[in-house]
Amino acid sequence: MEEAEKKLGLITKYFGDFNETQLQQLAALEALYADWNEKINVISRKDFDSLYEKHVLHSLAIAAAFEFQPGAVIGDLGTGGGFPGIPLAIFFPEVKFHLVDSIGKKIKVVQAVAEGLGLKNVTAQHSRMEEIKNRKFDFVVSRAVAPLKELWTWSKPLLKKAQPDMGVKPGLICLKGGDLTQEISESGCKPRIMEVHEIFGEEYFKEKYLLYVSV
Residues annotated in a binding site for S-adenosyl-L-methionine = 78, 83, 143
Environment class of residue 2 by beta-carbon count within 10 Å: exposed (0-12), middle (13-18) or buried (19+)? exposed
Q: What is the DSSP string of 51-106?
A: IIIIIIIHHHHHHHH--PPTT-EEEEET-TTTTTHHHHHHH-TTSEEEEEES-HHH
Residue ranges for the binding site? Answer: 78, 83, 143
Of 63, 22, 27, nearest in space to 199 by CA: 63
Q: What is the DSSP letter of 30?
A: H
Whole-Å CA distances, 184 to 49, 56, 85, 178, 190: 32, 26, 24, 12, 7
Distance (Å, rounded) from C-alpha 183 to C-alpha 189? 10
Rg (CA), the chain: 16
